[in-house]
Structure formats: structure tokens, C-alpha cells
Structure 1
Amino acid sequence: MANPDTYFNRKEVSNSDLTELKNLLYPRTQYGDKEKAFKFGTLIDAIITEPDRVDFYKLTVDDVLYLKEDFDLAIEMRKSLIAESRKDTFLANVLKHASTQTVSIRQNQPFDYCGFEFTLDTRCKWDWHLQLANFGGDLKSTFAESQKQFEEAIDFFDWDRSRAWYMDIIRSDRDFIYAISKKNCRVFKYFIQRGDKTYEKGKEKYLDLAFKYWQLIA
């Protein structure tokens, strides 16, 4: 059965919408197979945060078939994350207590772009959401083989923009990313605080795109 999730059919503006707009306005060379990378990302997200969608015998997520080698890699990556949680108490608590794939909506979210004020209805979908603590975080698969490469990927793939976007939708003061390497199964982590350089750079990125998005629909 196909995934019944209707999140992507909603009308509020998401970070993915901003990405699509950026790709139209500022096209750049794409490296690797984008669709294959997205498909694998869906697999690792499902195995870790929505295992009910996964059939480990048929090698499917919903009705989408995967290669055995992709499943084997995703399973090894999950094992690495679980092993990391045995020495990382924060991650252990996230895996134990966080809600997964929850949606946050904010109507008439205010924006200030260079002194110009406007509003948009916004949405985001969390890999992990610690609702009582009012913050959450993201799970990534990455080709990075070191912490340095992972942190460079945060800027290159605009993960800073997505985290600032999520933080401002729920008005949280912190956020985090855990990433698992597809190359060596190492687990990397990165923490973000409101006002730090990663948050500020991410917010600057999303404000530029949100303003241009507003111009298109106003």
C-alpha cells in the first residue's frame, strides 16, 4: 500500500518548497543521482523512525521496492546509530522519548526581510520531536566520512536553513542533527542554538527565499 501521508499535499509553505524555489532561481550543477539519494533517505528514515512502513522480507517501504544492498546498508547504519546511543545519553533519550514524523503548522507566521514585514502559513515535519521540551531534530544520511565533511555538508545542502525554519515554526531555542555516513557508518552530530552562527546563517537563507515565495503568491 502506498504511504497514505498527506503532508506533501498541504498548502502551507515548507522548507522543501523553498528548496524547489531555490533550484529554479539559483540552479547549480547536481552531483550524483538525486532521485536515488532521496529514495535511500526515505529508506533510512523509515527504518529508524517509521518501521511499521518497512517490510524487511519483501525489501519494501510501503509499496516501493529496494535493492537488497540498500537494505543491508540501511540496517548497518541503524545498528551504528543504536550503538552510538549506548554512549550518548542525549541520543538515547531521543530514540526513547521523541515523537517521530510529527507535523507542526504555524498560521500567519511573521517574517521581516530587510525591514519589510509579511506573513506566510508554514509547515514542517519532524524526524524527532521532543514536544514537552519544545524542540526537535533531524536525521540525515551522508557521504561524509569525517565530522569536518559533515559540517561542510550542513552549509552545502542548506541543512542550516531547514533547522532555522523548523525552530522558528515552533519558536524553539535549540535543535540538532544526527547523520550516519553511507561510507563508513560513522555517526555525526551537531547542535544548534538560537542566535548562534548556524541558526543565523540558516535564517538568512530562508528569509531570502521566503520573501521571494511571498512575492510569487501575493
Structure 2
Amino acid sequence: MANLDSYYLRTEVSNSDLTELKNYLYPRTQYGDKEKAFKFGTLVDALITENERVHYSKRMVDDVTYSREDFELGLAMREALRKEARKDEFLRAVLSNSDTQKFMVNKSQRFLYGNFEYTLDTRCKWDWWLPGFGFGGDLKTTFAESQNQFNEAIDFFDWDRSRAWYMDIAGSQQDFIYAISKKNLKIFKAFIIRDDDTYKRGKEKYDELAFKWWMLFS
């Protein structure tokens, strides 16, 4: 039986819930194998942030087995991130000092949609959380082959919405994304500051979906 993370059994609204609602309300063409991409992302997350879940001799995370090709690519991507950390002091601190896979719950979080105020119980789960600094960030795998392509992916895949959602649950003033390319093993970075363009765009996205969630399910 798979290891069922208790986080996913919780009832508070998550960014993933908003994604599912968006897909239902505004369906669009899905490119590639979404399930396969999610499975591979789980492998890379585990290799970097939850190493205790990885069974190296069996190429498994929990009870899920990976092909040799995927497992070796995951290891290569982890090594690429570690190599980047040798010259990136901030990333080195993230890998050394973060709490990983830390979840937060915000009961009765206040939202304002136009002039209408309402509340939702919300949750999020950080890939990296820096407890001494009061902010965290996200790890992504990407098909992007350049920083410009990665910047476009932030908007296309709503990673800006995710980061604004997480920031507002935590009350943090900044955030970051590190992404590893599945194509060329390059590392791409994004740093978000509260009220910058990325944050504002992400907040606008989640404001619409959170209000629709409240209307439909509250």
C-alpha cells in the first residue's frame, strides 16, 4: 500500500484544490502525460527533500518503482542542483538549513474580493522553509531550456499563483523557486518579493479562484 501523506487527507483549501477547480471551470488542452510528470516530480522531490523515502537499490519511492532511465535522470538532476549550490551561496544555505516538506495551516484566512470579505481555512506544504528567516520556496522540474522559457512557465503553469498563495498563508515577505531542467540539467531561479509583479499576478489569479471556491463549497 502506498504511503498516504496525511497532508493530502486534510480538508483545508490548498493551491492544488484551486488548480483542480480551474481545470474544471476553464478546461484547456493538456500537453504530455500529466500523471507521468507528477510521478517524476515526486521522485525528484524525494531525492532532494525526503531522502528517507527513497529505496535506492530498488529504484523506488515508497512502494512506487521507477524505470532505470527516470531514476538516473532524477539522480543527475539532484547532482546538478548540488553543483549549482557550490557557487550559489543562498541555494547552499537552503539545502543545508531548510525544513523540508513542512506544512502550514491558516484557519479562517481572510480574503477580500472587491469589497466582499470572507474566510477560508487554507493549507500549504513547503519544499523548503527557512525557519530563521520566515520565508520559504519551491522546487520544480521543468522542460525549459533557458531562463526565458522558465520565466514563461511561471505564468503558464500558475507557479506565480502558488507562490502568492504560500506567501499569504505564511505571511512571508519573499519567496523563491529553483527549477531543474529535465532537458539540459540547467538550474533556473526566480525570487519573488511581496507586491512585485509576480506576486501581484499570482494573487490576482488565486483571488478569483478562492472566491469561486467559497461560492461553490462554503
* TM-score scaled by length of structure 1: 0.99
**Cα distance in 1, alignment partners of residues 135 and 3 from structure 2:** 26
Separation in 1, partners of 2:33, 2:77:
20
**2-structure distance, mates of 1:187, 1:57:** 27
The 1-side partners of 2:166 and 2:59 are apart by 32
Which residue number in structure 2 is paired with residue 16 of structure 1? 16
Structure 2 Cα separation of the partners of residues 115 and 150 of structure 1: 35
Deviation of the 1:4 alpha carbon: 4.0
Any idea what SS the aligned residue of 1:184 has? coil
- Cross-structure match for 1:31: 31
Q: Counterpart of 1:145 in structure 2: which amino acid?
A: E
Q: 1:179: Cα distance to partner?
A: 0.1
CA distance in 2, matches of 1:96, 1:115: 44
Give SS of 1:140's match. Answer: strand
**Distance apart, 1:2 and its partner CA:** 2.5
Query: What TM-score does the superposition give when structure 2 sets the normalisation length?
Result: 0.99
> Could you say which residue in structure 1 is the equivalent of 2:96?
96
State how 1:69-148 maps to structure 2 within 5 Å: 69-148=69-148
Q: Distance in 2 between matches of 1:179 and 1:31?
A: 19
How many Å separate the matches in 1 of 2:21 and 2:154? Answer: 19
Q: Point out where structure 2 has 5 or more consecutive residues left out of the alignment.
A: none
SS in 1 for 2:58: coil
Letter in 2 for 1:85: A
* CA distance in 1: counterparts of 2:74 and 2:170, whole angstroms: 30
Quote the residue 2:167 is aligned against.
Answer: 167
Paired amino acid for 1:114: G
Query: Structure 2 matches for 1:170-185, cutoff 5 A?
Result: 170-185=170-185
Equivalent residue of 1:111, what SS?
strand
Moved runs in structure 1, 4+ residues, more than 2 A? none
State the match for 2:47 in structure 1.
47
RMSD: 0.7
Q: Which residue of 2 aligns with 1:198?
A: 198
Q: Given residue 187 of structure 1, which amino acid in structure 2 is its aligned partner?
A: I
Mapped partners of 1:130, 1:193: distance in 2: 16
Which amino acid letter does the alignment assign opposite residue 141 of structure 2? S
Corresponding residue SS for 2:99: coil
- What's the secondary structure of 1:57's corresponding residue? helix
Equivalent position amino acid for 1:26 in 2: Y
State the shift of 1:115 in Å.
Answer: 1.4
**% identical aligned pairs:** 67
Q: Distance in 2 between matches of 1:62 and 1:108?
A: 34
How many residues matched? 218
CA deviations over 1:81-109 (Å, ceiling 9, x no partner): 00000000000000000000010000000
Gap regions ≥5 residues in structure 1? none
Give the deviation of 1:128 after TM superposition: 0.2
CA distance in 2, matches of 1:59, 1:209: 38
Residue 3 of structure 1 aligns to a residue whose secondary structure is coil
Question: Partners in 2 of 1:15 and 1:96 — Cα distance?
Answer: 27
The amino acid across from 2:103 in the alignment is: V
